[in-house]
Amino acid sequence: MFHTSKIKLATFVGIILSVASLIVHLYLANSSSRELIYYRLPVDNLYGPRFKFKALWGPVGSLESLQPYANPRKVYPAPSESNNGYIYAKIYGGFERIRSSMCDLVTVARLLNATLVIPEIQASLQSKGISSKFKSFSYLYNEAQFIEALTKDVTIIGSLPRSLKEYSASPSFYLDEVLPKLKGSKVIGLVIADGGCLQSVLPPTMVEYQRLRCKVAFMALDFRPEIKALGTQIVERLRASGKPYLAYHPGLVKETWHSMDDLHTELIQHRRKQMIKKGILHEELSVDSFIRKRNGSCPLMPEEVGLLLRAVEYPPDTIIYLAGSETFGGQRVLLPLRAMYGNTVDRSSLCGKTELSSLAGPESPLPASTVQPPPPKTKEELQEEWKKAGPRPRPLPPPPGRPFYRHEKEGWYGWLAEAEVEPDPTTMDLRMNAHRLLWDALDYHVSVEADAFFPGFNDDGSRWPDFSSLVMGHRLHKSASKITYRPDRRRLAELFGTTSSNRYHPSRNWTLAMRESLKKGLGVDGLAAAADRMTEQLPPPSFLSHPLPGCSCRTSPAAGDQEVLLGGVEICPEWMRPSPVSVSLRATGGKDDGSEEGGGGEDEVGGEFPPETVGGSKADAAAAGPSEQDEEMDPDD
């Protein structure tokens, strides 16, 4: 009996010690876990009609009062039937240059009281290999919508009257009319090749013309119905699972890399040499990539963007849409981002080849390859060569050289390898350039409609906006409270430099500093920094990337820090302001009975990040919900 009691006591003590040991081990494992841990929230709350985790998906509370309003504020007469003539223009350049040029052309037509003829986009002419189904302008935009939207602003016609097309003049006309104008202005043609014909930001006395440019950019320039329909289908497919998505434009285009060195050093330096010869670049042949990166002049690489999204706590299953018709470096540079976020997709993975090719319409077949092998020699020619070959014995011929592939003889790479002069583009090159306009239009639509947008590169210091700047400006005008990141690349480069050897397992302080830097760019601070750059840069950035204050209005007075930036934005008309009832319902999450359905308290509104769950206490982790560590962050994998 005594021995049985001792055995029971020993068993009881062993159980107690085992439980204590298990508790200690769990505590140590929890306290020594990795910094970047994602906490999974209930799916219904995270991805419901109103996303509870508004720190990631918005809206940004400090910008909810901004509304699009580009209507004239003063007396604004309609265009008269009798005007000063016609303006006809040819536009060169890609998607960004075309969009910027169209805004300026309409404004110039209004300024000169002239009739605007639908301009000719040189990249989408039928001579460039596009389908005969489309005209130049209608290949990309809805011509009828463009004319109708600007009826009260400018008179627009599809083509010049026949009398002017067949016009011929005597020599005296050129001597009496054209020559004085040529001497006075030095130029009488209107060919737009660099993206615009007006200064990027108009003076305050011309604020109505600035609003007209906003109206053209954000209302009149509507893509043709086929592009919009496919873009809407892509958005629906991205949201088919009930989750929001983030659009990301890498900004890795060829023109960006001309100002820096990278893995393609030889190619880029050869291109820089040509640009320096032509006077396009006024710099040394070699540049220091490290200095450029530290100054914020280089794009954020996809790997860095993936780490930034992790620092902000986007979960690994976040849907990311890759925008942009060109990524210099190809899929290789996107591999790190795809490894961190497996749901990274683009237009080619969401649309079939038939859907994409239908946008271009029926196209004529391309001519056969111009690279032809030499014709075979006849028997007589071979015998004649043998007789003239010289004394015998003859040495063996040299081994055949490495064959040159077609892509090495044509296009940009062939130019770098074989010639000092840029070759004329082939028919395939011209057609691909036209197709890139369509892909950029699709990606533009999807990026503007995205729940969040992250630019890999924007605001390159030139006077014309790039793709990301256009998207950011459109989102600021259309829905300012949506999550649109405005990263400070100089600050981020500094932070990345402090953890270059430990990027995938950074310290908690680094993660918080990175998160704070990105959070600042979301609200008023980010817009204030953009406004400061507009005043500091010469020339200032285009209004298309920062359409404040003239093209928006606010539904409530600015207060506190908002007064510095939003003080110049006018109050919206009465019909645009929310009623007191709707304001009270929004404050209670859409319920007037105080219930918690449809929204949360103050911590859910305003776009601020939630209480820290990275490296926080156990109480914070418990409040955030069950945890799940990302397996890709484990160094032992």
Which of 180-184, 240-244, 377-381, 573-577 bottoms out in mean pLDDT, i.e. has the lowest?
180-184
Instruction: Please give the full DSSP string across 506-549, using - where no structure is assigned.
Output: --HHHHHHHHHHHHHTTSHHHHHHHHHHHHHSSSPPPGGG--TT
378 three-class SS: coil
| pLDDT above 60: residue 402 | yes
Q: Give Cα 487 to chain centroid, integer Å.
A: 13
Q: Average the pLDDT over 480-495 and give the result.
A: 89
| % of the chain surpassing 70 pLDDT | 66
Q: What is the pLDDT of residue 132?
A: 77
Task: Please tell me the distance from the alpha carbon of residue 260 to that of residue 248, in angstroms, as a whole number.
Answer: 22
Gap between the Cα atoms of 431 and 448, Å rounded: 26
Nearest to 604 by CA among 39, 45, 66: 45
**Are the beta carbons of 617 and 610 closer than 8 angstroms?**
no
- Determine the average pLDDT of the residues in 47-56: 57
Euclidean distance between CA atoms 446 and 440, whole angstroms: 10
pLDDT higher than threshold 90 for residue 141: yes
Which pLDDT belongs to residue 42?
Answer: 40
% the chain with pLDDT above 90: 21
| Confidence grade of residue 442 (pLDDT, cut at 50, 70, 90) | very high
Write down the pLDDT at residue 261: 44
* pLDDT at residue number 67: 87
The Cα 355–Cα 602 span in angstroms is 45
What is the structure's pLDDT at 83?
80
pLDDT at 45: 41
CA 105 and chain centroid, separation: 24
Q: Which of 76-80, 244-248, 384-388 has maximum average pLDDT? A: 244-248
Q: Which of 219-233, 414-428, 537-551 has the highest mean pLDDT?
A: 219-233
pLDDT at 436 over 70: yes
Torsion angle of alpha carbons 304, 35, 521, 446, nearest 10°? 60
Is the pLDDT reported for residue 629 higher than 70?
no
User: Can you give the pLDDT at residue 317?
Assistant: 93
Find the mean pLDDT for residues 6-15. Answer: 81
**Residue that the structure tokens 């780490």 belong to:** 307
265-273 contact pairs (CB < 8 A, 24+)? 267/413, 267/416, 270/416, 271/412, 271/416
Phi (first) and psi of residue 455, to 5 degrees: -90, 130
Q: Average pLDDT of 623-636?
A: 38
**Mean pLDDT (whole number) for 244-259:** 79
Give the separation between CA 325 and CA 445, rounded to whole angstroms: 13
Q: What is the pLDDT of residue 575?
A: 79
Q: What pLDDT is attached to residue 305?
A: 94
Single out the residue of 323, 317, 320 nearest to residue 347, CA to CA.
323
The set of residues, in sequence order, having a beta carbon less than 8 Å from that of 135 and lying 6+ positions away, is 143
Q: What is the pLDDT of residues 586-596, one digit of tens each?
A: 444 444 444 33
Cis peptide preceding 423, ω within 30 of 0 = no
Looking up tokens 């306009």 gives 437
**The predicted structure's pLDDT at residue 51:** 44
Answer yes or no: is pLDDT of 306 > 90: yes
Handedness of CA 104, 106, 107, 109 (dihedral sign): positive
* Range in 77-86, 283-292, 436-445, 601-610 the model is least confident about: 601-610
- Residue 462: pLDDT band by 50, 70, 90 thresholds? low
Q: Does position 394 have pLDDT exceeding 70, yes or no?
A: no
416 pLDDT higher than 90 = no
| 504 or 321, higher pLDDT | 321
State the amino acid at position 292 in one-letter form. Answer: R
The residue among 273 and 359 whose pLDDT is bigger is 359
* For range 177-183, the mean pLDDT: 69
- Amino acid identity at 246: L
Q: Give the three-class secondary structure for 622.
A: helix
Look at residue 386 and tell me whether its pLDDT is greater than 90. Answer: no
Q: Which one has a higher pLDDT value, 84 or 532?
A: 84
Write down the residue that tokens 């109103």 correspond to.
50
Q: What is the mean pLDDT of residues 81-97?
A: 84
Distance of CA 142 to the CA centre of its chain: 22
Average confidence (pLDDT) over 460-480: 85
Q: Given this model, what pLDDT does residue 545 score? A: 86
pLDDT value, residue 433: 86
Q: What mean pLDDT, rounded, does the chain reach? A: 75
Mean pLDDT for 463-468 is: 82
Evaluate if residue 196 carries a pLDDT over 70.
Answer: no
On the question of pLDDT at 292 being above 70, the answer is: yes
**Maximum mean pLDDT: which of 99-108, 163-172, 404-413:** 99-108
Q: Which amino acid appears at position 357 of this protein?
A: S
Q: What is the pLDDT of residue 316?
A: 93
